A and B are shown apart, each in its own frame.
Chain A
Amino acid sequence: MNAYDYRIRALFVDVRSREAEFRELSPGLSGTFLGGRGIGALLLSDNPILDPLHEQAPLVFSTGALTGSRIPSSGRMAISGFSPLTGTVCSTSVGGRLALSMKRSGIDLLCITGRAVHPVVVAIDDGIVSFETLSLPLDAPLSRVFGELRTGPGSVAAVGKAAFGECRYAAIMVDGVFSSGRGGLGTVMASKNIRAVTVRGSGTFPVHDRQAEEDARRDIIRLFDASPAITGRPGLKHFGTAALVDLMASRRMMPTANFRRTYFEEYRAFSAGAIHRRFSPKHHACPGCPIACKQKAHSEIPEFETLSHFGALNENADLDAVIEANRICNEDGVDTITAASTIACLAEIRGECYTGARLVDMVRRIADSSGDGELLKLGSAVLARELGAPGKSMSVKSLELPAYDPRGAYGMALAYCTSTRGGCHLRAYPISHEILRKPVATDRFSFSGKARIIKISEDLNAAIDSIGACKFAFFGASLEEYARGFAAVTGLQIDHQDLLAAGDTISALERHINCLRGFTRKDDVLPLRFFTEPGTPGPGIEVPPIDRAAFDEALDRYYRIRGCTKDGTLTLKRREEIEQCRHR
């Protein structure tokens, strides 16, 4: 294969008309938007102001160029759409076998529009699309859905009871335990009357330069081995993301009691050590990933965010309840972060505390739409507004904040606000340098230099999400090594600065779409609590409220660096540049 042959092969499916059409994106577009999240944003920008649940609003499943290659930890893909929870553009990075199965089926990208007359399963077998029905009721647990649909080595992406019950933050679950969680794309899928997408493929795909691929792989593995956060004794390889529980508690940035405190005295109840002592979980991984951060015992072990939010955020020290809450979310197809945060929000408004069996019952009600579930399924922003306490929703652009208190990491504070999908830690992932010291440490209690750091990190992570790589890989390796892998696989003469430039275009396009949807500076702000209330101090650690003036100055700098006006919208020049990129 020569470089010119690298094109994205896209399958467009309309589930109402049941028509399917293959198209190839031009090499120019493939080079500019890379794949994954980038191509998702490009397709969303074709009709940027659609209601998220409009029949013609696209739901895009998009692999990366590295999917299926020997480049480590590159088996992820993006699912993109407009979020019914936030109203923003939304893209999630998801693991499992779906990306690899799509590639083997000859598909880099699947774009679904329309609304099926009856609930259907979109089945793809070596690129051939068919529409099937499922005998199970719509409220069947997802484990039964996966049991019914999973035959052989393919992959299944499915939505469950929560999505069909119009929960605004329903997840798309992949292969049972991999969640496309944030923003409610499961709700989008259900609005199209799609219960599942199944993909099987038997094909192979070319790699431009096998030796260069092997050289890049070797360099990356060497860096993984040198990374304490990945392969060190306490690293992700041994403890999964639960490894972060002890660290966040010790740094006094563990959101507790709906962010009223930043330290939960009983955090050890759900620490990695506690989990390992009780369950000795086994590891499993996305295809081709040596990190293997997923863990399973009698039930799936929750990720760090889920542990912390069903634990500390709800002042719940009952590990069994945390695991059960997570299991229910997986069975019903619910985003755990928003679920836990919305329950904590309700608890604060009512002056109550939901722990143990009561917490589990609340989680169950989200998908059931019963009792408090009618309110809980709307997310914390709507719930708090409905109950006359909008300030109690700990969200940005209606997306609930994850388990890193912004008062303990100022880059994180800024990144929550500039993130194009709302209060998300993954768009810039400053925890990497503010807490984990990678690639180098920064002062977590300072905004100095953070505006450009966050901008570059957003570009970096947009590139990572668009080539199919996993963010955890970057606790060891860097885009330098992954760019070599990208060039080896595609034959495109691309280096890490080219990938960063693509990330810049993707981030700017997403912001532009949001601006067209009515988002401005007024939406790029943290809940008032973080500017007025201190966190919990610890030995040698003070956690004061964030200085609002310093935050605003950092946001001003970010806008200038990103090419925005003071109001947070792209400048005319930048809009024209983005428009040119869209038509390459």
Chain B
Amino acid sequence: MQAQVDKYLAKLIRHGLIAGEADAALFGLDDVIFTNRDSVPAEASELFSLLNINSLLIARPEPMLWSIIGQLADGNPGLIRPRDCESLTFIHDIPVVPSLDPGPVARALSRRKGCIVRDTGIVTTGTVSLEQAFISMSSICFATFVKFFTGALNAAAGHSGAAPVDPAKRSACLELLERSAPRAFVEPLPRRLPAATEDEAVRAMDEAGRSVVEAGLVDSFFGNISCRDAEVVYISQTGSSLDELPGYIDRAFMDGSSTCEITSSSELMAHVRTYELTGDDAIVHGHPRFSVIMSMFGEPLEFGRTRFIGDVPVVAGEVGAGSRGLLHTLPPAMEDHHCAIVAGHGTFTSCTGSFAPALRRLSSIELMCYRACRDVLEAGKTG
């Protein structure tokens, strides 16, 4: 379990979720506690005794994010309700408690997978592995970031239901936005698709997946990626981390003739349908923050309707294959544009020849959305 502790501490830093090792305490419990700390603080011991868990993460997000969370918590005492799609599905809402007093924190964690502790940071748990605690931490950071800027944009634009924002707050918001600018995107090697061999396909997916994570275009373990070779689709497994794909790629068939794909991404059918409609060779799906924020800007998009950000279609749809699932709305949009944003969820891009064009498009859409966010805020500032 010590290996898990070390792995997720490194990941917290690599993903930019915390500023340094000192900002996170990770605990994994089998019959004894493993941790990155010299000793186990009383609060952690107490939480383990109050909760039937095997993993605990207490971390202070990097300063800018922590400042955003603080402002959000000020306006939402007790409970933050994110509206983005992944949060609605998986974390529902985020309790806020004032201090690391084990009693109230345990009560919050008895209800939800993680909570915000105002004087400490984010506390999350797992019953199977530290990976759960890491995912919840990452998801809370993503959800709060999106909620904060969506609220700021709607307020700046004077949309109905949004509270007016005073000029000082808007300036501070712009400053935070500047500091959150999308990272530079490093293109992976242009490996040819369809791949000549299965190994080549895995290598191409591995490199593409890592470049998506390194560019900050996906949070935690969400997002998925695939490439097609005639009747075979290579696709990342459900819950796999895009920067750790080798060993976690399923071989699915276009015609569904094997059920081995039961461990594939929940978006497998959307990928298959997109391949059928576009004839493309590769699909990349990330959760770029500003693309998600811009897709939630303004009135909520109704299921079945499409709007555009620049030339990029935005469609509605929940995760998976339910009656209101993105399976029904995403592929038709992809057929015409080879890219689409699913409102409140993330961006899909597809292409032929290699992963490179899809990755470039994912990155450029994010940059466009970032600039659009800035424009809205600045227009509000001058207006």
Report A's interface with B, CB cutoff 8 A. 219, 221-229, 231-235, 239, 242-247, 250, 271-273, 433, 435-442, 448-453, 456-457, 459-460, 480, 495-498, 500-501, 504, 557, 560-561
Q: Note all chain A residues with C-beta closer than 8 A to B265.
A: 228
- 3 smallest beta-carbon distances between A and B, as pairs: A225-B322, A497-B110, A234-B259
Q: Which of B28, B128, B260, B325 contacts A440 (CB 8 A)?
A: B128
Report B's interface with A, CB cutoff 8 A. 1, 3-4, 28-31, 50-54, 88-90, 92, 106-107, 109-113, 126-129, 131-132, 135, 221, 237-240, 248, 256-266, 268-269, 272, 318-322, 325
Q: Do the beta carbons of A232 and B52 come within 8 Å of each other? A: no
Q: Note all chain B residues with C-beta closer than 8 A to A480.
A: 92, 111-113
Contact status of A501 and B31, CB under 8 A, knowing A433-B128, A495-B111: no
Contact status of A246 and B260, CB under 8 A, knowing A228-B265, A440-B129: yes
Q: Note all chain A residues with C-beta closer than 8 A to B260.
A: 234, 246-247, 250
For the complex, what is the distance from the CA of A436 to the CA of B110, rounded to whole Å? 25
Closest to A435 in B: B263
Q: Do the beta carbons of A557 and B30 come within 8 Å of each other? A: yes
Q: Do the beta carbons of B318 and A225 come within 8 Å of each other? A: yes
Closest to B323 in A: A225
Q: Do the beta carbons of A449 and B30 come within 8 Å of each other? A: yes
The A interface is mostly helix, strand or loop, or mixed, namely helix
* Nearest CB on A from B269, distance (A): 5
For the complex, what is the distance from the CA of A227 to the CA of B53, rounded to whole Å? 23
Q: Do the beta carbons of B88 and A233 come within 8 Å of each other? A: no
Q: Do the beta carbons of B31 and A222 come within 8 Å of each other? A: no
Q: Note all chain A residues with C-beta closer than 8 A to B135.
A: 440
* Nearest CB on B from A131, distance (A): 44
Closest to B55 in A: A449
For the complex, what is the distance from the CA of A250 to the CA of B4, rounded to whole Å? 27
For the complex, what is the distance from the CA of A460 to the CA of B129, rounded to whole Å? 15
Q: Note all chain A residues with C-beta closer than 8 A to B111.
A: 480, 495-496
Q: List 13 other contacts, CB 8 Å, given A438-B238, A439-B128, A496-B111.
A: A219-B92, A223-B89, A225-B320, A228-B265, A233-B261, A234-B258, A442-B128, A442-B129, A449-B28, A453-B129, A496-B110, A497-B51, A500-B52
Q: Note all chain B residues with C-beta closer than 8 A to A456.
A: 52-54, 127-128
Q: Note all chain A residues with C-beta closer than 8 A to B240.
A: 437, 441
Closest to A219 in B: B92
Closest to A248 in B: B260
Q: Note all chain A residues with C-beta closer than 8 A to B258.
A: 234, 246, 271, 273
Could you show 23 A-B contacts with beta carbons less than 8 Å apart? A219-B92, A225-B325, A226-B90, A226-B318, A228-B262, A228-B264, A228-B320, A231-B320, A231-B322, A232-B261, A232-B269, A233-B272, A234-B260, A246-B260, A247-B259, A433-B129, A436-B262, A437-B240, A440-B221, A440-B239, A456-B127, A480-B113, A501-B52
For the complex, what is the distance from the CA of A295 to the CA of B113, rounded to whole Å? 35
Q: Note all chain B residues with C-beta closer than 8 A to A222.
A: 88-89, 318-319, 322
Q: Note all chain A residues with C-beta closer than 8 A to B272.
A: 233
Q: Do the beta carbons of B1 and A448 come within 8 Å of each other? A: yes
Q: Note all chain A residues with C-beta closer than 8 A to B127.
A: 439, 453, 456-457, 460
Interface centre among B4, B256, B258, B259 (most CB of A within 10 A): B259
* Nearest CB on B from A150, distance (A): 33
Q: Do the beta carbons of A497 and B256 come within 8 Å of each other? A: no
Q: Which of B3, B4, B31, B239 contacts A437 (CB 8 A)?
A: B239
Q: Do the beta carbons of A233 and B92 come within 8 Å of each other? A: no
For the complex, what is the distance from the CA of A222 to the CA of B87, rounded to whole Å? 11
* Nearest CB on B from A27, distance (A): 20
For the complex, what is the distance from the CA of A334 to the CA of B53, rounded to whole Å? 38
For the complex, what is the distance from the CA of A63 to the CA of B4, rounded to whole Å? 40
Q: Which of A239, A244, A451, A453 contacts B128 (CB 8 A)?
A: A453
Q: Note all chain B residues with C-beta closer than 8 A to A501.
A: 52
For the complex, what is the distance from the CA of A529 to the CA of B92, rounded to whole Å? 46
Contact status of A437 and B238, CB under 8 A, knowing A234-B256, A246-B258, A452-B30: yes
* Nearest CB on A from B39, distance (A): 20
* Nearest CB on A from B29, distance (A): 6
Q: Note all chain A residues with C-beta closer than 8 A to B107.
A: 495
